[in-house]
Amino acid sequence: MGSGVESVEIKSASKHYGAVVALDNVTLSVAPREFVSLLGPSGSGKTTLLGLLGGFIQPTSGSIHFGERDVTLEPPHKRNIGVVFQNYALFPHMSVGENVAFPLRARRLPKADWPAKVRGALAMVGLAGYEERGVAQLSGGQRQRVALARAMIFEPRLILMDEPLSALDKQLRESMQIELRQLHKRIGATIIYVTHDQREALTMSDRVAILKDGRLIQIDKPAQLHDHPADSFVASFIGEASLLPVRRIDSGSVALGPATLRSARAIPNGDALMLAVHSEKLLIDDGADNAALNRLTGTVTDVVYQGESLRIFIALPDGTALSLRQPSHHEAYRRIPPVGGPLTVTLHPEDTIIVPKAAE
């Protein structure tokens, strides 16, 4: 499989519905065999972008290229891409086998080849022997797998997935994420995956594209996105960050209220800056005399037990709220004061992320 895999390129694509701008000048290229997620809140344009790739909607301006070819005006059935829809879109009047064989029939492939191909595709998604079942008899997870088998059987150059796991319960969703990841490695297809779940995007993708109000804000590897957000929107969307307004002092330090924080990273120019504090980067001050660390002291306002970890909320003297995470370990319990008690936390200059404030 995967012989026809090609790169995908979106060049300055925009989509307007009257006065509403659903997609605003998005340029994005996806390498062959890459797994890219489109992540954003609802209304960010990610489904519009998927519709453009699938050929279900036409861009107002801009173009779309598969490999060398401009496919902007090509109808969906000529694009040779597999689409997995949010609610699976399985054909209710066909059996599992007929559903999976649909792309073969549509392409007028010799009928003698169908059974072997269908068997192979179903085996790939762990549903060997389900050919005769009716769609109505399947569970949500099984329908998801059938939709996947149907989208893969014709060895498409690109597979699009529109929040395919959103209808599944948490446990099944997480196991399907891992399965999809492994499947992607095995078949080596290019996959573009739409989701609003940041953890899902980080788990599965080679790169994640963050969209907001129809614009592409940042596209990067998950770790880059997490540690080097382009602005405060990305920082708030990825991971669990508190955003605090800060003032630039010089190229290596900012002021957070009366306190001065040093950062080992380049501090962007401009007046509207935010400090993005990921809750896992804050550590409880162990009293060691390390002058290089930034220190913040506040009052504990709440301690929330969340199974494998504890989330501790503190308020700085000026009322600014922060949170940090500690593994629920005996050692941590010992060091957290009761609610109302003082707590000093440290933030390493390498983890002191200063981002420009995103436009509202």
Partner 1 sequence: MTHSTPDLSLRHHRREQGLMLALASPALLVILLLIVLPVGWLAWQSIYHDGFTLENYRRIFSEAIYWRSFSLTFQISLLVTVLALLLGYPIAYAASVVPKGWSVLILALVILPFWTSVLVRAYAWLALLQRTGVVNQFLQYLGVIDEPLALVHNTFGTVVATVHILLPFMVLPLYATMQKIPHDLMQAGASLGGSPSHTFWRIFLPLSLPGVLAGTTLVFVLCLGFYITPELLGGGRTVMVSLLVSRNVELYDQWGAASAVGVVLLLSVLVIFLIVGRFIPLDRILGQK
Q: How far is the CB of 201 from partner 1 (least distance, A)?
A: 22
Which of 72-80, 229-237, 321-329, 340-348 is the region at the interface with partner 1 (rule: CB under 8 A)?
72-80
CA distances from 331 to 32, 94, 96, 327, 335 (A): 47, 58, 54, 9, 7
All residues at 6 or more sequence positions from 124 whose CB lies less than 8 Å from its CB, including other chains:
149, 152, 183, 186, 187
Size of the site for partner 1 (CB under 8 A): 28
Question: How far apart are CB 243 and partner 1 at their closest, in Å?
Answer: 37
Radius of gyration of the CA atoms of the chain, in A? 24
8, 23, 151, 183: residue in contact with partner 1 (rule CB under 8 A) = 151
Residues 115-134 that bind partner 1 (CB under 8 A): none
- Which two structure tokens, joined as six digits, stand for 339? 């609610």
Nearer to partner 1, 73 or 106 (CB): 106
Pairing of strands 309-315, 321-327: antiparallel
Q: Considering the rule CB under 8 A, would residue 106 count as an interface residue with partner 1?
A: yes
Does residue 114 touch partner 1 according to CB under 8 A?
no
By CB under 8 A, name the one of 30, 39, 44, 79 that touches partner 1.
79
Looking at residues 155 to 214 of the shown chain, list those that interact with partner 1 (rule: CB under 8 A).
160
Stretch that binds partner 1, among 53-61, 117-125, 211-219, 321-329 (CB under 8 A): 53-61
d(CA 90, CA 102): 10
Return the ∠ at Cα 35 (arms to 41 and 4), rounded to 5°: 130
Q: How distant is the alpha carbon of residue 129 from its chain centre?
A: 33
In the complex, the residues that contact partner 1 under the rule CB under 8 A are: 54-56, 75-77, 79-83, 85-87, 89, 91-93, 102-103, 105-107, 136, 150-151, 154, 160
